Structure 1
Amino acid sequence: MSQRDGRLGIGIVGNDPAGPVLARGLAGAGHAIIGASIPDPSAYERAEALLPGLQRLTDAQVIERSELVILAEPAETLAARVAELTDAGMWVPGQLVMHNVAEFGTGVLGAALDKGAIPLAIHPAIDVTGTSLDLTRLREGWCAVTAPRPVLPIAQALVVELGAEPVVIAEENRGTYAEAITTATSFTRSIVKQATSLLAGIGVEQPGFVLSSLVRSAADNALIDASPTPEPPFGDAGLPLSED
């Protein structure tokens, strides 16, 4: 498979659980999985559960053979990992290099860009588990996309192939986007933990299941309230609404 026919050979470098999830989603759209360099044994086992028969390769082998490299590194190690791979001369001109860290745009991939790689920043706005459950959540969710303008359509197309919806986030706004993601995630976990502890304290068995419908419906209602449907420009009779 090649970029000429729209299919990409995809490789994974790094332990972050979102990497194999994104690779599996793209494989479902017809792209080929080349292999992975995942040092942590448990992370590799988790990836292999999503991608049966996943070939274990070195960093150099993955990058040399892949048209899209998913750099699956957490925020705290991403910049150092990019520098390490760049110093080793591993990037292939013209290949796509994608990371999935919320707070960074493509600036963190600048060293790879200097070597001819095409940088993409795609963050799935879901609470990643590293399991097949994430694939369902992706099809119901959004991905933040940041990329140089000429290749932004490529990043958006990859998100669509995942079954998600792309939302473009400017490079300078990735920090604010990440803060919103962290706030929503940590607040939800904290509130659910507090509520389930109260129920457990009065003897309610499986409090998480008891509250599941309530929490989901309350969250859905809050999200609807935060994104009101625009009022149509015409009234019920099909006539323009009065400005009075």
Structure 2
Amino acid sequence: MAIKPGRLGVGIVGAGRVGAVLGAALRGAGHAVVGVSAVSAESRERAELLLPGVPVLEIPQILERAELVLLAVPDDALPELVSGLAKTGAWQVGQLVAHTSGRYGTSVLAPVKLAGGIPLALHPAMTFTGMSLDLTRLLDCTFGITADPAMLPIAQALVVEMGAEPVVIAEADRVLYHASLAHSANHLVTLVAQATQILGDIGVDAPNQMLGPLLRAALENALASGESALTGPVARGDAGTVGAHSQALREHALDTGSGDILDAYLAMSAATAARAARRGLLSADSFLAVQAALGTDDGGLTGPASTI
């Protein structure tokens, strides 16, 4: 089966941030979006903005019309949606069915395959705003794709048509793959929010202006040089500074009730020290001194942070 640009009728199930943007990208590549499901007012507005002229339909209607169905729904909702539609006989022979979940490969689409459809997993490794600027970001984006070997060219072609780069992820590795992305992107947001809160609490008027250049440089250096780019008191073995940080954050947690910031600092500092020691960037003595300053033993938290 060959992909013919401009000849596939695409149905979008879920006009969330991801579904609407990918639908617009496929439309821009020449495919015809034949319908989109949108329940909330926000989803309908997003569909109107990114997919103007595309009818908002019920899911069974979309499946009747579409040669390619894109399931852009939350991870936990995907299995029930797929199996529920299978019970109604909605899946069609030869129909391409792709989901955008990072967690799952194609096994979650087993009912589709049983009905004669072609299951694909196409997960964009990117955060979405649900606005048109995401279409530009797709050009620097990679997709984690999973499919039966004979169907991989189809998945790869769809991703390339959207302007992105496909990377094959084995079915058995999907959860670890997704954990890696969530650990980096999601926790980065939490980290920035925590740092912003601390600066705001001490009276800095524009924390984002202070943090922006530092964080951009750190991210660029880490992506370019890996852990060789590591700097700061933990990497230098400045145990006194690490201890001062820990104490100040304990006091801050007591004053503000923000124990999560202390927990995160202790956990990430312990992890940073352990990785630096394994790479020979931190001597054994310095590693032990940093552990002591953090109140840790073998890298584990022993302090009262979680109870604050």
Cα distance in 2 for partners of 1:213, 1:159 equals: 32
User: What residue is the counterpart of 1:150 in the other structure?
Assistant: 150
4+ residue stretches of structure 1 with deviation over 4 A?
Answer: 2-6
Q: TM-score, normalised by structure 2?
A: 0.69
Mean CA deviation greater in 88-97 or 33-42: 33-42
Cα distance in 2 for partners of 1:57, 1:93 equals: 21
User: What residue is the counterpart of 1:137 in the other structure?
Assistant: 137
Give 1:4 deviation, angstroms. Answer: 5.1
Cα distance in 1 for partners of 2:140, 2:218 equals: 18
For residue 144 of structure 2, give the secondary structure of its aligned residue in structure 1: strand
User: What residue is the counterpart of 2:234 in the other structure?
Assistant: none
Cα distance in 2 for partners of 1:154, 1:10 equals: 14
User: What residue is the counterpart of 1:196 in the other structure?
Assistant: 196
Counterpart amino acid of residue 68 in structure 1: L
**Contact between 2:6 and 2:30, CA under 8 Å: does it hold in 1?**
no
Cα distance in 2 for partners of 1:203, 1:139 equals: 39
Counterpart amino acid of residue 165 in structure 2: E
Cα distance in 1 for partners of 2:211, 2:5 equals: 48
Give 1:207 deviation, angstroms. Answer: 2.2
Counterpart amino acid of residue 35 in structure 1: G
Mean CA deviation greater in 178-187 or 190-199: 190-199
**Contact between 2:5 and 2:31, CA under 8 Å: does it hold in 1?**
no
Mean CA deviation greater in 177-186 or 39-48: 39-48
Q: TM-score, normalised by structure 1?
A: 0.86
User: What residue is the counterpart of 2:224 in the other structure?
Assistant: 224
Mean CA deviation greater in 166-175 or 201-210: 201-210
User: What residue is the counterpart of 2:107 in the other structure?
Assistant: 107
User: What residue is the counterpart of 1:85 in the other structure?
Assistant: 85
Mean CA deviation greater in 130-139 or 163-172: 130-139
| Higher Rg | 2
Q: Percent identity?
A: 47
User: What residue is the counterpart of 1:20 in the other structure?
Assistant: 20
Mean CA deviation greater in 209-218 or 47-56: 209-218
User: What residue is the counterpart of 1:11 in the other structure?
Assistant: 11
**Contact between 1:91 and 1:117, CA under 8 Å: does it hold in 2?**
yes
Cα distance in 2 for partners of 1:181, 1:108 equals: 20
User: What residue is the counterpart of 2:167 in the other structure?
Assistant: 167
Structure 1 unaligned regions, length at least 5: 229-244
**Contact between 1:12 and 1:19, CA under 8 Å: does it hold in 2?**
yes
Counterpart amino acid of residue 217 in structure 1: A
User: What residue is the counterpart of 1:122 in the other structure?
Assistant: 122
Counterpart amino acid of residue 211 in structure 1: L
Higher relative contact order (CA 8 A, sep 6+): 1
Mean CA deviation greater in 46-55 or 172-181: 46-55
Counterpart amino acid of residue 76 in structure 2: E
For residue 123 of structure 1, give the secondary structure of its aligned residue in structure 2: strand
For residue 122 of structure 1, give the secondary structure of its aligned residue in structure 2: strand
Mean CA deviation greater in 198-207 or 79-88: 198-207
For residue 140 of structure 2, give the secondary structure of its aligned residue in structure 1: coil
**Contact between 1:15 and 1:40, CA under 8 Å: does it hold in 2?**
no
User: What residue is the counterpart of 1:236 in the other structure?
Assistant: none
Please tell me the root mean square deviation across aligned C-alpha atoms, in Å.
2.0
Cα 1:23–1:40 shift into 2, 3 Å:
same
Higher helix share: 2
